[in-house]
Amino acid sequence: MIQNKYVVGNWKMNGVGAHLEEVRAIAGGAARYRGVDVALCLPATLIHRAADVVPGFPVGAQDVHFEPHGAHTGCLGAAMLVDAGAVLTIVGHSERRERERSAEVRAKAEAAQAAGLDVIVCVGESLEAHEAGATIETVCRLANKSLPEQVGPTRLTLSYEPVWAIGSGSTPSPKEIGWVAGALRDLVDKRFGGQGAGVRILYGGSVNGSNAAEIFAVPNVDGALVGGASLRAIDFLPIVAAAAEAVERQGAIA
Ligand SMILES: O=C[C@H](O)COP(=O)(O)O
């Protein structure tokens, strides 16, 4: 099934109020492209302010607690994120998986969906696993254990992010990305049956304006989760443009 590409920026621990101008520029620029859904996952401190600055533009969080509330110092529950204006959240990013297991990632995804948030579940292999030829086994194992069970797949996205590609300037070859995306597509189809087609599969890890077109041309890659290159409109919008061009080439603007 051909559908809109999905390009999501993950600002990680970057951005203060002054950077809301970039959010505004990204939202305004992204609106010019058809066939692409664009969202920004911001530091929690900016979600509320961004939701005010760009009403209607999807802003999200980078993590969520699996409990709705309680004695969890420094954490945020899903309803709190919704209250701040978030419409989505990332869970299981490798920069957080250092401290959490897949069962916790799944619990977070389920809690987020139950509160009405769209969820992006991240999976990826370490350099060691990659070099040992265990990429597909690793990402499928993580996906199987991390995907939520309780809610259907319509608001679920899976992002393949090789740990070694994040912020490194290195990416797998398009062929390697295609192998993994194909394996994840099979897994999702098997797990969710016909509804699996609604689950988009993203690639993340050193995506930029120069390599985006090649990545979006890979079969079963429905978009990208972008870190560093999402911080400034001048870097991010060329990636959005490449996604729009990929959809146009496929002749299926939704
Ligand atoms: O969430 C985004 C990924 O970690 C990719 O980050 P990057 O584009 O800076 O490599």
Q: What is the CA radius of gyration of the chain?
A: 17
Q: What does DSSP say about strands 156-160 and 36-41: parallel, antiparallel, or unpaired? A: unpaired
The pLDDT of residue 3? 82
Q: Percent of the chain having pLDDT more than 90?
A: 91
The pLDDT of residue 151? 56
Cα 194 to ligand 1 centre (Å): 30
Rounded mean pLDDT of 62-70? Answer: 97
Half-sphere exposure of 40 (CA within 13 A, CB side): 36
Cα 149 to ligand 1 centre (Å): 26
Q: Which residues of 1-31 are buried (b: 16+ CB within 10 A; e: fewer)?
A: eebbbbbbbbbbeebeeebbebbebbbebbe
pLDDT digits (tens, 9 = 90+) for 220-247: 999 999 999 999 999 999 999 999 999 9
Mean pLDDT of the chain: 95
**What angle, 0 to 180 degrees and rounded to 10, lies between the N-to-C axes of helices 44-53 and 20-30?**
50
Tokens coding 247: 């959809």
Confidence at 152, pLDDT banded by 50, 70, 90: low
Residue 79: CB partners within 8 Å, gap ≥ 6?
A: 68, 69, 115
The CATH number of domain 5-249 is 3.20.20.70: yes
Sorted by where each begins, the domain ranges of the chain are 5-249
The pLDDT of residue 154? 64
**Residue from 62, 203, 226, 235 to probe ligand 1 pocket by mutation (most atoms less than 8 Å from CB):** 226
The pLDDT of residue 194? 86
Confidence at 254, pLDDT banded by 50, 70, 90: very low
Q: Is 116 in the pocket of ligand 1 (CB under 6 A)?
A: no
Integer CA distances (angstroms), 53 to 15, 25, 162, in order: 15, 11, 33
Q: Is pLDDT of 7 > 90?
A: yes
Sign, CA dihedral 99-123-162-228, equals negative
The pLDDT of residue 98? 85
